[in-house]
Amino acid sequence: MTARLHYTVAGPAGAPVVLLGPSLGTTSTIWSAQIPLLARQFRVVAFDHRGHGESESPVGPWTIDDFGLDVVALLDDLDVPSVSYAGVSLGGMVGMWLAAHVPQRVERLVVSCTSAHLHAAQYWAERAATVRKHGMQAIVDSVVEHWFTPAFAARSGDVVREYKQMLGSMPVQGYAAACEAIGEMDLRADLPRISAPTLVVVGADDLAIPVENSHEIADAVPGAQLVVVRNAAHLANVEQPGQVGQAIVKHLEA
């Protein structure tokens, strides 16, 4: 059963469509710094994952396939046959699934600070159990600590507080089910099947998902390019918005 996804639209009608997927525990507003730049020449659709923000939250358990099929249903509802797609973390995982399983729907792909597989299913199961038992506030500080470099957190406390509030407001069951889906995900065998021109972006200081995981994606996807963003952690597009935004535009224009 697919979930109806909440989304926003910006940019000129009739322009090529760019779809933006957020990370685990965030909403489409994670892309707020890049949307004005992209909307100069693209029709930008930014969505919330199932169980996040204002999107529907079907009863779990879920798999990464469910997240991908939600996006396919969204494109069908919008009557958009194909898009360029950019996603952060969980959004990047969904992008890789789409490019491998419905390649006709993905023209160009950008995946940021993400992984095709994480070797810690038990860790994700424990995080899901923690929020179900104690609520989202139990994990907010430890999770957001890995989203930004210490230097950025020190000078941009207002941004850090915004993201802590965002994560803390996530629906418990939706967040937990998403954690479990990530823990069970393995897209490694799908990577060589991706034919869309692909850009892999990673923060040089990402502690949430090691930089090596992005190298693995770039090595496995035919022709993929890798951009390492200095002075950025897991939410590289938030910490270095201009650098990441320009890299995305350059890739989409190529």
The pTM of the full predicted model, rounded to 2 decimals, is 0.97
Angle of the 137-144 helix axis to the 157-168 helix axis, nearest 10: 140
What pLDDT does 202 receive? 98
212/86 Cα distance (integer angstroms): 20
Sign of CA dihedral 174, 157, 114, 71: positive
Write the CATH number for 108. Answer: 3.40.50.1820
Please give the backbone phi and psi of residue 252, each rounded to the nearest 5 degrees, phi first.
-70, -30
What pLDDT does 119 receive? 80
User: Is residue 134 domain-resident?
Assistant: no
E strand segments, the chain: 7-10, 17-21, 43-47, 83-88, 106-112, 198-203, 225-229
User: Is residue 75 domain-resident?
Assistant: yes
Q: Mean pLDDT for the chain?
A: 97
51/71 Cα distance (integer angstroms): 13
User: Is residue 158 domain-resident?
Assistant: no
User: Is residue 100 domain-resident?
Assistant: yes
Torsion of CA 113, 115, 121, 126, to 10 degrees: 10
E strand segments, 60-140: 83-88, 106-112
Cβ-contact 20, 46 below 8 angstroms: yes
User: Is residue 1 domain-resident?
Assistant: no
pLDDT digits 0-9 by tens, 60-108? 899 999 999 999 999 999 999 999 999 999 999 999 999 999 999 999 9
User: Is residue 136 domain-resident?
Assistant: no
- What is the rounded average pLDDT of the residues 105-124? 95
What pLDDT does 210 receive? 92
80/238 Cα distance (integer angstroms): 28
- What is the rounded average pLDDT of the residues 200-207? 97
Q: Is residue 120's pLDDT more than 90?
A: no
Question: How many distinct structural domains can be found in the chain?
Answer: 1
User: Is residue 88 domain-resident?
Assistant: yes
For residue 78, the SS3 value is: helix
What pLDDT does 223 receive? 98
Order of all β-strands in the sheet with 106-112: 7-10, 43-47, 17-21, 83-88, 106-112, 198-203, 225-229
Range of the domain at 48: 7-117+186-253
- What is the rounded average pLDDT of the residues 107-124? 95
* CB under 8 A, 24+ apart: contacts of 142-150: 143/25, 143/167, 143/208, 146/206, 146/207, 146/208, 146/233, 146/234, 147/208, 147/233, 147/234, 147/235, 147/238, 148/233, 148/234, 148/235, 148/238, 148/239, 149/203, 149/205, 149/231, 149/232, 149/233, 149/239
User: Is residue 149 domain-resident?
Assistant: no
What pLDDT does 60 receive? 87
Question: What percent of the chain has pLDDT above 90?
Answer: 98
pLDDT digits 0-9 by tens, 32-41? 999 999 999 9
